[in-house]
Amino acid sequence: MDNGQRGDFAIETRGLNLWYGDFQALIDVDLEVKRGIITSMIGPSGCGKTTLLRTCNRIIERLGYVRTTGSVYVLGHDIFGDDVELVQVRKQVGMVFQRPNPLPISVRDNVLFGFRLHEARTRRVSAAEENEVLESSLRQVLLWDTVKDRLDKPATGLSLEEQQKLCIARLLPVKPEVLLMDEPCSALDPAGTEAVEEMIWQLRGDYTILIVTHNMAQARRASDECVFMLLGRIIEHGRTEELFLAPENSKTADYIEGRYG
């Protein structure tokens, strides 16, 4: 219907409510995530950040007792629509988890997993093309130089930082528009966190990134816009520096000053 107008945002939710059984985890959420920038979501544990993130590619539905009302538009299209194919949604909207979850196969097979699933089934793909895709994906996540001699070694043998980068790299060959990241650095040490943040910053522009974090310093350092959530509602959404320097809502101010969390 009004796809053209909605196309301005990568993700847009309208009146989104979500229940886990009787518990309402998201209350009337209206979120607009702009294309090509990094938007971070902060808020205390259990406020619904991860739930909201997981709704954006409908992975949340795996839990049978989840019920939603309202709508979620990704790239202007209602992902709850009748003609929506989940596989297509998930190709467009890649997800990165808290703990790196490489598959127990080689680095090469991990990166090419989605590519082979989607591209290589519709046409013949040469080994040279696979190598190209492999190298460019790994270069985008700043991992090529460290793993180029270990491409056929098991991915589970990499360090956690490398594994997390790999998990992001393997989303890229299917050309997603949006990357959802659920506390991607929480399993990493400070050096790893810094490296992954730097890499995420590199992806900015090419992809729309929505990142959940517990780490306020990280939200502040590494995002353009910031969303503060509390008890299932969005309290405030604005440019990151403004939200941190001059929050409009007193609850936001209390949270970023550490009065609760």
Partner 1 sequence: MFAATALNRRSYRNQNVARAVFFLMTVALVIPVLIIVGTLVVRGGPALSWEFLFTAPRDNMTAGGILPALVGTIWLVVVALLASVPVGVAAALYLSEYAPDNLLTRTINLAIINLAGVPSIVHALFGVGAFVYFFRFGASILAASLTLAVMTLPVVIVATRESLQAVPQAFREACWNMGATRWQTIRKVVLPNSISGILTGVILEVSRTAGETAPIMFTGATAFVAFLPESVFDQTMAMSYHLYYIATQATDVPEQLTFGVALVLIAIVLAMNAVSIGFRVYLRGLKKW
Enumerate binding residues for partner 1 (CB under 8 A).
57, 59, 62, 64, 87-88, 90-91, 94-95, 97, 99, 101-105, 113-114, 117-118, 154, 156, 167, 170-171, 174
- Tell me whether residue 172 or residue 199 sits nearer to partner 1 (CB atom): 172
Q: How many C-beta atoms surround the C-beta of residue 2 within 10 A?
A: 8
What minimum distance in Å lies between the beta carbon of 57 and partner 1? 7
**Closer residue to partner 1 (CB): 166 or 235:** 166
Tell me how far, at minimum, the Cβ of 193 lies from partner 1, in Å. 20
Residue 34 in contact with residue 225, Cβ under 8 Å? yes
CB nearer to partner 1: pick between 48 and 102: 102
Distance CA 106, CA 112 (A): 10
What is the smallest separation between the CB atom of 212 and partner 1, expressed in angstroms?
A: 15
Please, which residues bridge with residue 20 across strands? 23, 66
Nearest distance from C-beta of residue 151 to partner 1, angstroms? 15
Across the beta sheet with 9-20, what order do the strands follow? 23-34, 9-20, 66-74, 77-78
CB–CB of 42/221 below 8 Å?
no
Q: Which two tokens stand for residue 229?
A: 């959530």
Residue 28 or residue 61: which is nearer to partner 1 going by CB? 61
Reported as half-sphere exposure (CB side, CA atoms, 13 A), residue 246 has a value of: 1
Nearer to partner 1, 99 or 221 (CB): 99
**Residue placing its CB nearer to partner 1 in the complex, 96 or 216:** 96
Q: C-beta of 63: minimal distance to partner 1 in Å?
A: 9
Q: What angle do CA 29, 30, 35 make, to 5 degrees?
A: 125
Give least dist CB 169 to partner 1, A. 12
Distance CA 247, CA 225 (A): 13
Question: DSSP 3-state assignment of 222?
Answer: coil
